[in-house]
A and B are shown apart, each in its own frame.
Chain A
Amino acid sequence: METLSYRHKARQRAAGSKPIAIVGVVASGNLEVLVERVLPDTDCELDIKTAAEGFGAVWEQVVADFVELRSPGGLKLSVNDGGARPDTVALRLAQAVRLIEEIDP
Chain B
Amino acid sequence: MSTAPVAKRNADEQRKAVSWYEASARERLRLLLDVHSFQEFIGPEKREISPHLHIFNLPEQFDDGMIVGRGLLEDQKVFVAAQEGRFMGGAFGEVHGAKLTGLLRAVRDVPSIPLVILFDTGGVRLQEANAGELAIAEIMRALIEARTAGAKVIGLIGGRAGCYGGGGLIAGCCSALVVSEQGRISVSGPEVIETNRGVEEFDSKDRALVWRTMGGKHRRLIGGADIFVDDTIESFRVAALHLIRCSSGFDSDVLESEQVRLNQRLQRFGSCADAVDIWRAAGINNAETVPDMATDEFIALANQIRGPRHVAR
Decide if A80 is an interface residue (CB 8 Å cutoff): yes
* B84 and A25 contact, CB distance less than 8 A: yes
Cβ contacts under 8 Å, B59 to chain A = 1, 26, 49-51, 80-82
* B44 and A26 contact, CB distance less than 8 A: no
Q: What's the nearest-Cβ distance from chain B to residue A102, in Å?
A: 11
Q: What's the nearest-Cβ distance from chain A to residue B9, in Å?
A: 12
From B3, B4, B45, B59, residue with most partner A Cβ within 10 Å: B59
Beyond A22-B26, A34-B45, A36-B45, whether A27 also contacts B62 by CB under 8 A is no
How many chain A residues sit at the interface, stated as a range, is 10 to 19
Decide if A105 is an interface residue (CB 8 Å cutoff): yes
Interface of B, secondary structure class, is: loop
Decide if B61 is an interface residue (CB 8 Å cutoff): yes
Decide if A104 is an interface residue (CB 8 Å cutoff): yes
* A26 and B45 contact, CB distance less than 8 A: no
Cβ contacts under 8 Å, B255 to chain A = none
Q: What's the nearest-Cβ distance from chain B to residue A53, in Å?
A: 9
Decide if A46 is an interface residue (CB 8 Å cutoff): no
- Beyond contacts A25-B87, A32-B62, A49-B60: 5 other A-B pairs, Cβ-Cβ < 8 A, are A26-B61, A27-B87, A34-B45, A51-B59, A105-B36
| Interchain residue pairs A-B with the least CB separation, the first 5 | A105-B3, A26-B61, A27-B86, A25-B86, A51-B59
Q: Which residues of A contact B (CB under 8 A)?
A: 1, 20, 22, 25-27, 30, 32, 34, 36, 49-51, 78, 80-82, 104-105
